[in-house]
């Protein structure tokens, strides 16, 4: 039977980087080469200053320190590493298409296809290809046909060239990626080549209990990843819809979440109301699901999943309008502090962050945003909100990034908490109150603050999902 010694991972992003770091740590007998076409990203992965790694994940620095240049290597040598590899993971991005058929919904598979073509050209011997990227159902089939076509024109020196394609979706969540990789709920492997499945299973068995390794056919595996994300997003839209109802009726969404979450059939996770879900996966995967349903003529099913996205936009816009309303119906020329720009805590990732839409809503009303986030840098904010030019049209509003909480609240009329960073839970509100213009407001869209501490500091307080009468 074939032996796996060398692994190549194409794509050194949020998925490829941490996943390979953990495999390298748990399997010191394997050599792992993570390759990427983005030179700057690879340079950052190789930086001696570990605080410059391209992504922030608790626990990642320690593993990189231990394994980098031992059995974990980052480079741009895509072709060489494909040639050397016994197993190749594909972890490139699959964004929503912006042009052509399916634009706005379908996944753009151009990078997946280009990976398949590169593998077809450079691989040697029996090579196992593992889809890590979240992909539309039946993508493995496309990869396999590109690879099989290449076999037909095969030169004699490569006569033993052979490909197996497996689906092995990654379920890690950002901010807890390392822990999720070390202690996953399950590992899903889809495919029909029993030998290839066994070889991949053997890698995971180095640290994961065999009964957590689930084997399915390849289409179930691809679809399960889309559906897991769709179900998680659906729970958030459900609880966010309930948050609005709680605010109207006098119920408290925290109490409702707790009460329903204790029902073991419902479970207590993913029931926190908030400003709407963000992140690179939920929206993209639901759009993709909608596209697949429509492709197969399942219009009602497509409509059902679309409503999950509709509620998500609605919640962001509802919260924006409500804040403007509380600030006497106008925020033109006012200062609003934004606490948190990342789509969740413990990550520097801003992709699809609810902060983007909410900040844009405020900027369109001509206010000045004072943004504080412990991990998101100014360049990242600029790529979402546009440059913060000095002399902008006062009707359009402007933003500034600050490096301390205190600096970001000077003369502010309101603070809007958008990310649940730990440090926002321990703020000395009486000190903050002195720095703000009155009447001052705190809008807590994550329900992380203690009401009494804020109101006793002479600041008005609003919380998502809790009626004014109560808060
Ligand atoms: C991506 C997908 O978005 C997600 O759906 C999937 O589950 C895993 O891969 P992520 O790792 O967060 O998630 O993406 P990203 O951080 O953008 O990393 C992808 C990397 O692939 C980038 O660094 C990009 O430069 C690289 N890439 C892309 C290649 O090396 N080669 C290519 O042809 C295309
Ligand atoms: C998600 C999936 O959890 C993961 O399995 C998959 O591999 C990738 O997509 P991620 O996007 O990194 O992971 O983070 P997640 O913790 O799922 O949070 C997504 C969004 O939902 C965040 O904006 C978060 O703040 C929000 N959320 C989550 C809520 O608003 N309420 C909750 O109760 C939970």
Residues designated as active site = 281
CA of 91 to the centre of ligand 1 (A): 5
Average pLDDT, the chain: 94
* The predicted structure's pLDDT at residue 234: 98
* The predicted structure's pLDDT at residue 155: 59
Q: Which residues line ligand 1 (CB under 6 A)?
A: 10-16, 36-38, 41, 91-94, 111, 114-115, 132-134, 170, 280-281
Contacts of 305 by beta carbon, 8 Å cutoff, 6+ apart: 230, 234, 286, 289, 290, 293
Helix (H, G, I), strand (E, B) or coil at 163: strand
Residue whose CA is closest, atom 18 of ligand 1? 13
* The predicted structure's pLDDT at residue 392: 64
* The predicted structure's pLDDT at residue 144: 87
Counting ligands in written order, the one closest to the CA of 133 is: 1
CA of 187 to the centre of ligand 2 (A): 18
Q: How confident is the model at residue 136 (pLDDT cuts 50, 70, 90)?
A: confident
Structure tokens given for 433:
């109150």
Which numbered atom of ligand 2 lies nearest the CA of 352?
23
Residue whose CA is closest, atom 20 of ligand 2? 277
Q: Give me the helix-helix angle, 299-326 and 218-249, nearest 10°.
A: 40
Calpha distance 461→250 (Å, rounded): 16
Stated length of the chain? 471
Q: How confident is the model at residue 109 (pLDDT cuts 50, 70, 90)?
A: confident
Q: What is the DSSP string of 128-172?
A: EEEE-S---TTHHHHHHHHHHHHHHT--GGGTT-EEEEEE-----
Q: Quick check: bond before 439 cis, omega within 30?
A: yes
Helix (H, G, I), strand (E, B) or coil at 318: helix
Mean pLDDT to the nearest integer, 175-199: 97
174 close to ligand 2 (CB < 6 Angstrom): yes
Structure tokens given for 69:
């240049």
CA of 452 to the centre of ligand 1 (A): 44
Which numbered atom of ligand 1 lies nearest the CA of 95?
3
First to last CA, the chain: 66
Residue whose CA is closest, atom 28 of ligand 1? 92
Kindly report, residue by residue over 366-384, the tens digit of the pLDDT: 999 999 999 999 999 999 9
Q: How confident is the model at residue 391 (pLDDT cuts 50, 70, 90)?
A: low
Which numbered atom of ligand 2 lies nearest the CA of 282?
9
Helix and strand totals (H; E) in the chain: 16, 14
325 class by beta-carbon count within 10 Å (0-12 exposed, 13-18 middle, 19+ buried): exposed
CA 434 to chain centre: 36
Helix (H, G, I), strand (E, B) or coil at 261: helix
Calpha distance 278→343 (Å, rounded): 5
Report which of residues 98 and 187 the model is more confident about: 187
* The predicted structure's pLDDT at residue 422: 97
CA proximity to 467, closest of 252, 237, 242, 240: 252
Question: What are the φ and ψ backbone dihedral angles of 74, each rounded to 5 degrees?
Answer: -115, 130
Question: What are the φ and ψ backbone dihedral angles of 465, each rounded to 5 degrees?
Answer: 75, 10
* The predicted structure's pLDDT at residue 97: 85
């Amino acid at each position: 039977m074939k032996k796996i010694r060398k692994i190549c991972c194409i794509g050194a992003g949020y998925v490829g980087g941490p996943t390979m770091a953990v495999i390298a740590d748990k399997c010191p007998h394997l050599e792992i080469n993570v390759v990427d076409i983005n030179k700057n990203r690879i340079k950052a992965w190789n930086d001696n200053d570990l605080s410059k790694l391209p992504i922030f994940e608790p626990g990642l620095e320690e593993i990189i320190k231990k394994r980098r240049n031992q059995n974990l290597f980052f480079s741009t040598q895509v072709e060489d590493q494909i040639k050397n590899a016994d197993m190749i993971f594909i972890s490139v991005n699959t964004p929503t298409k912006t042009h052509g058929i399916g634009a706005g919904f379908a996944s753009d598979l151009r990078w997946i296809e280009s990976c398949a073509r590169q593998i077809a050209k450079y691989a040697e011997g029996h090579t196992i290809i593992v889809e890590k990227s979240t992909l539309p159902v039946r993508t493995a089939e496309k990869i396999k046909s590109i690879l099989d076509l290449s076999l037909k024109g095969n030169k004699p020196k490569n006569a033993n060239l052979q490909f197996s394609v497996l689906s092995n979706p990654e379920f890690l969540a950002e901010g807890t990626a390392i822990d999720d990789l070390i202690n996953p709920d399950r590992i899903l492997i889809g495919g029909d080549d029993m030998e290839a499945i066994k070889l991949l299973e053997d890698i995971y068995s180095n640290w994961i209990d065999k009964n957590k390794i689930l084997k399915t056919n390849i289409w179930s595996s691809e679809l399960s990843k889309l559906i897991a994300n769709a179900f998680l997003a659906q729970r958030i839209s459900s609880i966010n819809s309930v948050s609005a109802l709680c605010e109207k009726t006098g119920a408290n969404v925290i109490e409702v979440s707790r009460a329903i979450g204790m029902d073991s059939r419902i479970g207590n996770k993913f029931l926190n109301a908030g400003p709407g879900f963000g992140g690179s996966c939920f929206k993209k995967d639901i759009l993709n699901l909608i596209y697949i349903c429509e492709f197969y003529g399942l219009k009602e099913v497509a409509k059902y999943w679309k409503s999950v996205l509709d509620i998500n936009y609605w919640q962001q816009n509802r919260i924006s309008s409500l804040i403007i309303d509380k600030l006497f119906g106008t925020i033109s020329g006012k200062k609003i502090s934004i606490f948190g720009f990342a789509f969740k805590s413990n990550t520097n990732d801003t992709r699809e962050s609810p902060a983007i839409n909410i900040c844009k809503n405020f900027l369109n009303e001509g206010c000045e945003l004072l943004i504080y986030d412990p991990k998101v840098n100014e360049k990242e904010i600029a790529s979402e909100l546009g440059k913060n030019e000095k002399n902008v049209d006062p009707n359009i509003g402007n933003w500034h990034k600050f490096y301390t909480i205190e600096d970001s609240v000077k003369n502010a009329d309101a603070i809007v908490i958008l990310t649940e960073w730990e440090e926002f839970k321990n703020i000395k509100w009486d000190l903050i109150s002195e720095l703000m213009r009155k009447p001052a407001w705190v809008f807590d869209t994550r329900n992380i603050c203690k009401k009494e501490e804020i109101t006793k500091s002479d600041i008005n307080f609003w919380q998502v999902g809790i009626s004014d009468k109560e808060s």
